[in-house]
Amino acid sequence: MRPRRAVMSLVVVILGAMVTLGAFEAFTAAPVARPDAQSTGTAADAWPTPRVLQNLSSKPGVVELSLTASPTRLELAPGKPTEAWAYNGTVPGPTIELREGDLVTVHFTNKLAQPSTIHWHGLHLPATHDGSPLHAVPPGKSRDYVFRIPLGSAGTYWYHPHPDMTTTEQVSRGLYGALIIRPAKDPLEGITDRLLVLSDNRFQANGDVDLPHHTTVQGNIDAQNGREGEILFVNGHTMPTIFIKPGETQRLRIINAAAARVFRLAIPGQKLVHVGSDGGLFEKPVDVDELLVANSERVEVLVRGGEPGSRAVLRTLPYDRYDIQTRPKDWEQPRDIVELRTTTDAPAPAYTIPSTLRVVPAIDRRVIARNRTLVFAQGMINNQLMDMTRVDIRARLNTTEIWTIENVVGMDHPFHLHGFQFQVLDRNGVPEPFLSWKDSVNVPKHSKVRIVVRFENFPGRWMYHCHILDHEDMGMMGILEVLR
């Protein structure tokens, strides 16, 4: 097994070099058309939606898909071709649309020069089909992922590679895509449903993805912070426009597919109606001024059109997730990511948001098999680096546990658990205000988050880790074994 590199602490070198690096400049070029996008909405609506992956089966309730990861040449940074890695030739990869109860088979072929997987982020499925680094697909090989979509799991998910020690590179080069699960009856059916896959990237002058070695100054900053890029993308485009009729309600499914960046989303002067997170809809809609979306998290929000001809922006506001020594100079600058333009069409018919969206039952806590604490330090969990041959936690099938995720360092760490959704109990002792299903949760610097999880249906070995991809690659990850 290759040795893992621990997070470096070249603070003096970094501080000296950051003076010359300067602040990133916002990229404001117009969106470039790409063949993977299809428009949605009105004829004038050029919203770039990744195409939906074709179902190869004609049988009801059976879905058969084909995905290939391969090198390709695409225009990722507008105006400059990039040597990218892509699913079926597009970045983001094609959107996968499924329904609760579907029996799914995905034929995956790895045409990369290194091992890869497809991790079905947030799905409850057999361990051997989760796409973890424990089941890597060698270069030039194929495998089938087979699983059934559980009832009650409708929501917004995503897929991405999860090989050991190279996830950052593979995602940064373009391997990620959206996965939407629809229920038999959607309480928000009938309104425009838009997908927003948020990401960022950084490029060299020739257009190649910038992935510096960890011994360089920028490489060490990436190792500390997690890799961020100065160009912000939505569905692979920069600053696209959402067209919305006066008074119209639209549903935005937002995925943070960035390697490390946290998006603090707001539409200045407007409320957002927060209706869902990682595991689907809430019981009731919640009005908010802003939403913090850590990398790998998802949110669903409703927005309304304004006065005819008016414009607004969906913006990411400053958020200090960083260690002070490696905090970017421009971190306090808000960034516009989407324009919302109200058309001059006739007003849309009034839409009443349902007062109840679905039932979210609380996980039964009358019998707790184990209370555990996972201490997140820089680069390690419970003072250990990831070892692919070591089991870190053993739990029993059909038991419930409470985990405390404690972050003891001066930067945020988003926690992700494979295979099993959980519910957040409290943050720094403050009870969570309402129930929701989660698979990722941000743990701010010097804080604690308590979660409750029920291990049902699927024994096997699962990953848990910090979802800052550089940290995951360097060993901030562990193995949970669920025993029968």
Confidence at residue 78, expressed as pLDDT on a 0 to 100 scale: 82
* pTM across the whole model: 0.92
pLDDT digits 0-9 by tens, 3-12 = 565 544 433 3
Structure tokens at 29: 């070029």
Q: How far is CA 300 from CA 114, 197, 368, 433, in A?
A: 35, 12, 31, 17
Mean pLDDT of the chain: 92
Q: How far apart are CA 326 and CA 319, in angstroms?
A: 14
The β-bridge relationship of strands 370-377 and 399-407 is: parallel
**Residue 425, both tokens:** 């109990």
Q: Domains in the chain, start-ordered, CATH in brackets?
A: 192-342 (2.60.40.420)
How far apart are the two ends of the chain, measured CA to CA in Å? 29
CA-based R_g, the chain, Å: 21
% of the chain residues with pLDDT over 70: 91
Q: Where are the alpha helices (DSSP H) in 394-479?
A: 469-474
Q: What local confidence, expressed as pLDDT, does residue 77 receive?
A: 87
How far CA 148 is from CA of 145, 151, 250, 443, 458, in Å, comes to 10, 9, 30, 31, 12
Distance CA 174, CA 236 (A): 9
Q: What is the pLDDT of residues 346-364, one digit of tens each?
A: 999 999 999 999 999 999 9
User: 185: number of CA atoms within 13 Å, CB side?
Assistant: 3
pLDDT of residue 4: 64
Q: Which one, of 201, 203, 235, lies nearest residue 338 by Cα? A: 235
The torsion angle over the Cα atoms of residues 76, 219, 228 and 259, rounded to 10 degrees, is: 90
Tens of pLDDT, residue by residue over 54-84, are: 999 999 999 999 999 999 999 998 888 999 9
pLDDT for the residue numbered 5: 55
Query: Which parts of the chain sit beneath pLDDT 70?
Result: 1-45
Structure tokens at 243: 């067209």
